[in-house]
């Protein structure tokens, strides 16, 4: 039986997003300094900015956890129901087709 994965908490998500932004900026700076690139990649710098924005958003969400829980509760229940439906569907034996019951 496949166990559901452990969901990441907000603190971990913020930390990972910030670390990824830092990693991208460090790599870009090293490439530019060592002559591996004429300049930093605008695409990679934009990715770093997006990860920084994700980190800030998650931190802002963490500042108002009760309100966020209240707003997201219906969404989380729906997601849990959908995930359970999918797990049950995958665990169920294959359905017999209509042709197997046909007398023609």
**Are the C-beta atoms of residues 45 and 25 closer than 8 Å to each other?**
yes
CA-based nearest residue to 20, from 57, 61, 60, 51: 51
Give every residue of the chain whose pLDDT is below 50, as ranges.
Answer: none
- Record the pTM: 0.64
pLDDT at residue 96, rounded to an integer: 66
Residue 83: the pLDDT is 83
pLDDT value for 53: 98
In this prediction, residue 99 carries a pLDDT of 56
Q: Where are the domains of the chain?
A: 10-92
Please report the pLDDT score of residue 100 as a whole number: 56
């Amino acid at each position: 039986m496949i166990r559901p994965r452990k969901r990441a908490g907000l603190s971990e998500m913020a930390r990972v997003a910030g670390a990824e932004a830092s990693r991208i900026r460090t790599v870009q700076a090293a490439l530019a300094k060592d002559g591996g690139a004429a300049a930093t990649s605008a695409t990679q710098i934009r990715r770093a900015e997006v990860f920084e924005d994700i980190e800030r958003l998650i931190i802002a969400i963490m500042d108002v956890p009760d309100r966020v829980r209240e707003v997201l509760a219906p969404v989380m229940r729906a997601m849990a129901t959908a995930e359970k439906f999918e797990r049950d569907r995958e665990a169920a034996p294959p359905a017999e087709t209509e042709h197997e019951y046909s007398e023609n």
